[in-house]
Structure 1
Amino acid sequence: MTVVHGLGDGTAPPSGGDHCERRLEHSDGPWLRAAGGADELRAHMAPVRQELVLAHQGLMSGAGRLTALAELAAVRESWERRIQAAQGECGSLADKLREAARIQGGTNEAVRSSFTSVRVCGEDER
């Protein structure tokens, strides 16, 4: 949400009956940037699962049946599930943020069209 300053410098509140100095404008930019960030985080986590698998392959083949390695495998599986869940959450969050931007744009347009009969600041009266 951005406050856009009109003709004045924005340092003083509107005076008298003329409330045309400031207008509230919404932008989908922050929503879309946040969605992009969630997508980037999801993509950044993608190779981590494979890196865990590769790192543990050498340990498991060289150490036989040590109990500690069985525990290590359980921990690795737990981390793989967590990473997968985090990726899913990031994807879901990105979708919801984009949907919020879309809905906000529709709301802005509905509000704008509902005020078509209202005199706009700076327009000559007809």
Structure 2
Amino acid sequence: MFTIAWNQHELQAASVPDVERILDELHEEFANDEPQLVTVQSEETGDSLAIGIGRDRSVLNYVSGSKDPPYFTSTGELDVDEPIAFRFGGEWSEFPIRSSVPSLVARQAMRHFCITGKLSPDIQWEQD
């Protein structure tokens, strides 16, 4: 079971396909409006992985169930001096573009997290 949360909204998902369906729907909703950082939390461990939804590029951020460090953020291949922003809790949150990865890659990493409970080895992770 997973809890999917964004901007004071929360949904329950019983399976990985349910998580993927909800993220697909949210991507469509936010693509033409305001991209959001959506958190998917494992009910089993309390671990969560946030994913930027609604852009061609995404940012991933991992927090353990204890809420204690270390925290991890994705690292992509771009290294230019501009930010990428997503709404989180109603406010804009900016990340360096170097933290972004293509949205398809981010979604694959989310699927890996939901299935295994671990961070995807296909992504470079930076400790916050």
- Report TM bin, short chain: under 0.3
More strand by share: 2
Higher helix share: 1
Higher RCO by CA contacts (8 Å cutoff, separation 6 or greater): 1
> Which has the larger Rg?
1
